[in-house]
A and B are shown apart, each in its own frame.
Chain A
Amino acid sequence: MSAIRRPSPVLTFGKYAALAFYLIFALFPLYWLVKISITPDQLVFTEGTALWPSETTLGNFRTVIFHTDFLAYFGNSLIVSLGTAAATTLIAAGAGYAFSRFNFGGKRVIIALMLVTQMFPLLMIIAPIYKIVAAMGLLNSLTSLIVVYTAFNVPFATFLMQSFFDGIPKDLEEAAMMDGCTRFQALRKVIFPLTLPGLGATLGFVFTAAWSELLFALMLISRNEAMTFPVGLLTFVSKFSVDWGQMMAAGVLALIPSCLFFIFIQRYLVQGLTSGAVKG
């Protein structure tokens, strides 16, 4: 009788096949995006189904960068997304910490209300939001987008942060307080460093959500100078034609910030920072 059963080769093969299938499924659209962005205009339709075009070009990128307003859209998106990510994470971290560590009157009601906000389809509240933003005189401003996106992302981000704080043993703060910290010092010197993965994940999540948001950006922004990149993309669609190559090139460029962001934070995401804190 052998002590350790080796997994059967069929099972191993099956697992890898399933993973490979999933990867192709997830990555193929990205590949197609890149392919079309480097295909010369005249070949987009004639070689539409080929896996690789017979000729490649960086012309679409050149056009998008130097001859359209893309860079302005890109900049607007960066401002809105970074602003939203920062504001949301700041609020969510504070609220998440309070939910995780303190008991206070109305806590359950607040949590329930936050859940309720997540239940409505956006389309239902878009008109009231428009009226509110208009009344505040914020139409066509990046500020309006930051405020609206923050409002919509805070509930989920708060739950996310709360679960990260819940994962940090309360003993650590108490030990820090016994060691001479005020609650705020304990937070800054002990809890904050351990929450970095959580902050990174929340920042990344909110940034991506804001970066690709279209509906509100479309409704609240009509001035070209204030357009974010998803709205700007639509300018590549004219009444009679779609400039596929340029649109895809813009899409590829738009992927860069998210990719950089996740490369930057992924080491925090995989690391279990609290390991070793308690017994184990």
Chain B
Amino acid sequence: MARLQLTNVAKRYGNVEVLRDINLDIADGEFIVLVGPSGCGKSTLLRMIAGLEPISDGDFLIDGERMNDIRPRDRDIAMVFQSYALYPHMDVARNMGFSMEIRGAATAERTSRVAEAGRALGLDKLLERLPKALSGGQRQRVAMGRAIVRDPRAFLFDEPLSNLDAALRVEMRLEIARLHQRLGTTMVYVTHDQVEALTLADRIVVLNGGIIQQVGSPLELYERPANRFVAQFIGSPTMNVVAAAPDGASAVRLASGARILLPNHSGAGRAAELGIRPEHVDVVEPGTGDLDAVADVIEHLGSDTNVYTVVEGLGPIMARVRGNVPARSGDRLGLRIRPEHAHLFARDGRALAATGA
């Protein structure tokens, strides 16, 4: 049972402010994922929750209790480090049972809890090994086991899967999802990986430059990004964004001269940019779409096709099409923008409210 609340939290190193105005209310049992570009302060935020980094300003509460000055050991929070940070001189069992050892738990209880966690993570045959005799994936499991054995109030993960290969990453991702379902404990998870964020999170927190850009469910962020940064950060492939000027109350004109009609969009009159996800751009016969383009690179993914095109006077636009497209590099194509999925951004990057659709 743990509700984590951050109120107006800031972090400064000397004069450098790396986090500002962080307001976040994490409900008990929620799975929160922090994403953002490198250096945006994700690890710093996580470490402040852990107690490894002092909080410069604001309050951090666990279940209503102020934690700013409480030592890490007294917060009852477990953390899985990106580097795993296994104790190299202890075997797997002692690594996992270390927290109970420190708290003076009875040996019998410790042994049974370690055995149980070991079984759950498929480590039961490795309990007597030293970390150096384990593969990367096994070390990762031990690091998770060390956190589970404690039965903490909340789990923190700092890019726990980033050192694993792709296949193992998928497997461990599922494992973490199952873990959350089984334990129902509050989890805060830092990642670079969109797929991890979108698949694991109840809510995603997008950070940039030390400021929270948006907090919301994966679908909310995908469908209603609060600004251009979130729009381009969430979703793969990246959203196309091009300059646009108002043309009447419900249409915009692009630099190529094309006029895009947006009947349900109230923000058209203030738009500076138009954003459209590649999956919302259709490839049509030349001359019949909104834009005329020349195919640049075609990527066949089997189920989908990525069509990279160049539009004269506008620049590159990418379309992602279901199935196969019989186009080749250099072919002339038409592109149609689905107006109900278009995003409009003001000059400062803020999204202009989309109504309808």
Contact = CB atoms under 8 A, between A and B. Distances in A.
A171 B83 contact: yes
A181 interface: yes
Interface string B319-338: 00000000000000000000
Nearest to B75: A178
B89 interface: yes
B132 A180 contact: no
Interface residues of B, number: 31
B71 A182 contact: yes
Which of A171, A179, A193, A275 has the most CB atoms of chain B within a 10 A radius of its CB? A179
B139 A177 contact: no
Interface in A163-199: 169, 171-172, 174-182, 185, 189-190, 193-194
B56 interface: no
A194 B87 CA distance: 9
B133 A182 contact: no
Interface residues of A, number: 25
Contact of B84 (A185, A193, A274, A278): A278
Contacts of A180: 73, 99, 102-103
A175 B79 contact: yes
Interface string A27-64: 00000000000000000000000000000000000000
A277 interface: yes
Contacts of A182: 71, 73
A193 B89 CA distance: 7
B98 interface: yes
A180 B51 CA distance: 12
A223 interface: no
B302 to A, nearest CB: 33
Nearest to B52: A174
B81 A174 contact: yes
A280 interface: yes
Contact of A277 (B71, B77, B88, B99): B88
B83 A278 contact: yes
B71 A179 contact: no
B86 A276 contact: yes
Contacts of B163: 279
Contacts of A274: 88
A273 B89 CA distance: 7
A279 B132 CA distance: 10
Interface string A259-275: 00000000000000111
Contact of A279 (B77, B102, B139): B139
A185 B102 CA distance: 9
B327 to A, nearest CB: 42
A177 B150 contact: no
Nearest to A168: B88
B85 interface: yes
A278 B87 CA distance: 9
Interface string A222-234: 0000000000000
B134 interface: yes
Given A172-B87, A175-B85, A276 B130 contact: yes
Contacts of A178: 50, 52, 72-73, 77-79
B131 interface: yes
B146 interface: yes
Contacts of B134: 276
Contact of A175 (B77, B81, B130): B81
A279 B83 contact: yes
B99 A179 contact: yes
Contacts of A177: 51-52, 71-73
B29 interface: no
Contact of A278 (B51, B85, B103): B85
A273 B90 CA distance: 11
B209 interface: no
Nearest to B136: A279
B146 A179 contact: yes
Nearest to B103: A180
Contacts of A280: 136
Nearest to A183: B71
Contacts of B77: 178
Interface in B62-110: 71-73, 77-79, 81, 83-89, 98-99, 102-103
Given A181-B73, A181-B102, A277 B85 contact: yes
A126 B335 CA distance: 88
Contact of A276 (B71, B102, B132, B146): B132
A275 B84 contact: no
Contacts of A169: 83, 85
Given A177-B71, A179-B146, A194 B89 contact: yes
Contacts of B89: 193-194, 273
Contact of A171 (B81, B102, B133): B81
Contacts of A185: 102
A43 B280 CA distance: 102
A280 B81 CA distance: 14
A179 B133 contact: no
B99 to A, nearest CB: 4
A228 to B, nearest CB: 37
Given A180-B103, A181-B102, 5 more contacts: A178-B78, A179-B99, A180-B99, A194-B89, A277-B88
20 contacts: A174-B79, A175-B87, A176-B98, A177-B51, A177-B72, A178-B50, A178-B77, A178-B78, A179-B102, A179-B146, A180-B73, A180-B99, A181-B102, A185-B102, A189-B102, A190-B87, A194-B89, A276-B88, A276-B131, A278-B85
Interface of A: 169, 171-172, 174-182, 185, 189-190, 193-194, 273-280
